[in-house]
Structure 1
Amino acid sequence: MAKAAEKKKVEGGSKMKLIIIASVAAVVLLIAAVGATLFLTGALNKKSASAATHETAPPLKPPVYFSITPPLVVNFQHPTQARFLQVGIDVMARDPHVIEELKTNMPAIRNRLIILLSAQSYNELSTPAGKEKLRKEVLDSINTELKKAGVHGHVDNVYFTNFVMQ
């Protein structure tokens, strides 16, 4: 009987050792997995990802704004009655030279914009999507005219500061 009790005690001890070894191995494996994940995602680097991005990208110049004045007024296509559109436009560039060239080429730019605005339909401009499409077309139109004039650089954005349809 003593042999049976001793055998049971030895089996219980080796099961306990096996559980402890397996638990320690699982904890070590878990720590290794977390460490590998942190290393691969860059969380362990001294510099954060956003700081690295800011260092590699050149700093942006401050924006320079210019209002196209007076606002553009055009009549546009509508089958039953005369419709008018008045649009106030501000442009933004990060190079003051581009704004100066814009001023120099303003007659050609205004002409191009009047033709573009006149070709719009009342129904399309009644929707936010139509206004956004027109804004992008105005930006492209201005940059195309600047490129035609031999200007190095471009207008970065266009804003409608006044938009009245009647």
Structure 2
Amino acid sequence: MAEEAALELEDSAEPKSKKKLILFGAIGAVLITVIAITAYLLLSSDDAAQVTGADDVVAAESAPRTGEAFYAAMPRPFLFNLPDNGRTRLVEIKVQLMVRGSDDDTLIKKHIPLIEDALLTTFSGADIQKLSSPAGKDELRLLALRNVQNTLQPVTGRTVVEKILFTGFVMQ
């Protein structure tokens, strides 16, 4: 009888260990599958963000901004000389920047010296013949806008200025 009890213990021990082995194997397989799926999703979302990152920037820049328009006047008018057929002409331009939202207005006021530098560089490189025509003034305004946006982009991480307005334009 002792032999029969020992045999019963051995027989019943095998199915329990097999059940444990199957249970641990199934848990391990589920765990490995979950880890693999998570790693795939994390790695593929980074690749997709890198590929579509440029598209998002273009879409964000082309999307119309919403919010209240604020106008930030530059503290001083821009005075510079331009050569014109052997003589020098004095040009004075008063500028205001249009931004959307009070946060951008505060941000612009914080970066006034950087904006002044970009605008003065753009204006001093202008051609006096172009500035004599309305189309030339519009071209200068667009060039100034691009230069200001490109100057502020690395500092602020976005294009803050929506429009540049000439509120005064004098050539002598």
* Normalised-by-shorter TM-score class: 0.5 to 0.7
**Pairing partner for 1:72 from 68, 78, 87:** 78
1:143 to 139, 149, 152: 149
Aligned position for 2:105? 99
Q: Tell me the alpha carbon deviations over residues 47-80 of structure 1, each in whole angstroms, 9 at most, x when there is no partner.
A: xxxxxxxxxx999311111111211111123231
SS in 1 for 2:87: coil
Q: With the length of structure 1 as denominator, give the TM-score of the two structures.
A: 0.60
Match of 1:11 in 2: none
Task: Show the counterpart of 1:31.
Answer: none
Deviations 1:142-164 (A, max 9, x none): 11111021343421111100000
Question: Once the two structures are superposed, what CA deviation does each residue of 1:82-138 show, in whole Å capped at 9, x if it has no partner?
Answer: 111100111111122222222211112111211111111111100010000011111
Change (3 A) 1:136 1:58: closer
Identity %: 27
Which contiguous aligned blocks of 4+ residues in structure 1 show a shift greater than 4 angstroms?
A: none
Q: 1:64 to 1:124 in 2, by over 3 A?
A: same
Q: CA RMSD in A?
A: 2.0
Unaligned runs of 5+ in 1: 1-56
Match of 1:163 in 2: 169
Aligned to 1:82: 88
- The answer to whether the Cα contact below 8 Å between 2:77 and 2:92 also exists between their aligned partners in 1 is yes
Q: Which residue of 2 aligns with 1:152?
A: 158
- Cα 1:146–1:81 change in 2 (3 A) is same
Q: Which has the higher helix share?
A: 2
